[in-house]
Amino acid sequence: MIPFVRDFEFEYGRRDQVSPLIQRVIANNPGPFTFTGTGTYIVGRDAPGAGVAVIDPGPMDETHLDALLGAVEGRRVTHVLVTHTHRDHAPLARPFAQRTGAPILAMRPPARQTHASGGLDEDEDEAFAPDVILTGGERIEGDGWSMTALATPGHASNHMAFALEEENALFCGDHVMGWSTTVVAPPDGDMADYMASLDVVITAGFDTLWPTHGAPVTQPAAFLAAYRTHRLEREAQVAARLAAGDRTIAEMVPKLYAAVDQRLWPAASLSVWAHLIKLVKEGRATTDGEPTLTATYGA
Ligand SMILES: [Zn+2]
């Protein structure tokens, strides 16, 4: 069992000091993929004139823009960092950067077709264009803080996390979430990349993870071990359905997700698809052509 944390005290638009160097303001965009909404982090000292970074300004929402501008008033925003281009993270980056004069740093947005057909509302912000393209490994120096960009593809092909050295903490975007597992939806999402990125985060040994949605993960080692096990169990279940004779995702989902609300089955189908792509890549499953959502698979 993954030790999820869903109890979480917050108020929309309020600036909360959540650690010595971190403040958080939550946008009012709750939903099945955003939990209580997008948490925008402000990194730096709470002192007049201090230089701060802002991570994931969030959805295009005037009220949240005003809340963020109020939260950084009297300080200098030196960096706007974006973990990935989904609409609950990236669209407010440009208006916020324009109002504060800070550059936007992020990984290059995906060029390939990213629209999945599972009814997810985690669409791309197609207008997103960073000022500085990160590839991973960059050190970002600020006023009393330093971060390192950590490439963490999987949930999105251009997902970047940011490690805060002073607190041995990771702003992990949607790569790891404390309240839920993360959606890995092809074609932009990639389960093999996701599992490899998870191992990178596990190996790094952070003291705290700060996901964009929900509460922090304060015992990352145990949490990530359970998170990883959950994926491997799901993968084994998909492999077992193949071995039992199921040939399509449509056959597998009602069995694998019998206990889950049927409205979530389209999203579940994408997850099964992600596992099958990985199994095909590893030579553990076959397919009659491209490993698509409607392909015929074999053991
Ligand atoms: Zn998100």
pLDDT in tens, the chain (299 residues): 899 999 989 999 999 999 999 999 999 999 988 999 999 999 999 999 999 999 999 999 999 999 999 999 999 999 999 999 999 999 999 999 999 999 999 999 987 554 544 445 467 888 899 999 999 999 999 999 999 999 999 999 999 999 999 999 999 999 999 999 999 999 999 999 999 999 999 999 999 999 999 999 999 999 999 999 999 999 999 999 999 999 999 999 999 999 999 988 998 999 999 999 999 999 999 999 999 999 999 99
Pairwise CA distance, residues 209 & 222, whole Å: 12
The Cα–Cα gap between 299 and 286 comes to 6
How far does residue 7's CA lie from ligand 1's centre (Å)? 18
**How many A from CA of 184 to the centre of ligand 1?**
12
- In the chain, which segments carry CATH 3.60.15.10? 16-218
φ/ψ region of 58 (left if φ > 0, alpha if ψ in -120 to 50, else beta) reads: left
The CATH code for residues 229-298 is 1.10.10.10
SS3 54: strand
pTM for the whole thing?
0.94
The candidate with the shortest Cα–Cα distance to 72, out of 90, 89, 38, 97, is: 97
User: From ligand 1's centre to the CA of 34, what distance in Å?
Assistant: 5
8 A C-beta contact, residue 172 and residue 209: yes
CA of 211 to the centre of ligand 1 (A): 9
pLDDT tens readout for residues 107-160: 999 875 545 444 454 678 888 999 999 999 999 999 999 999 999 999 999 999
Neighbours of ion ligand 1 (CB under 5 A): 88, 174
**Separation of 286 CA from ligand 1 center, angstroms?**
32
Range(s) of the chain covered by CATH 1.10.10.10: 229-298
Q: How far is the CA of 189 from the centre of ligand 1 (A)?
A: 13
Question: How many whole angstroms from 59 Cα to the centroid of ligand 1?
Answer: 10
Helix 265-281 to helix 191-204 angle (10° resolution) is: 80
Asked if CATH classification 3.60.15.10 holds for the domain at 16-218, the reply, yes or no, is: yes
Ligand 1 centroid to residue 173 C-alpha, Å: 7
Whole-angstrom distance, CA of residue 202 vs CA of residue 232: 15
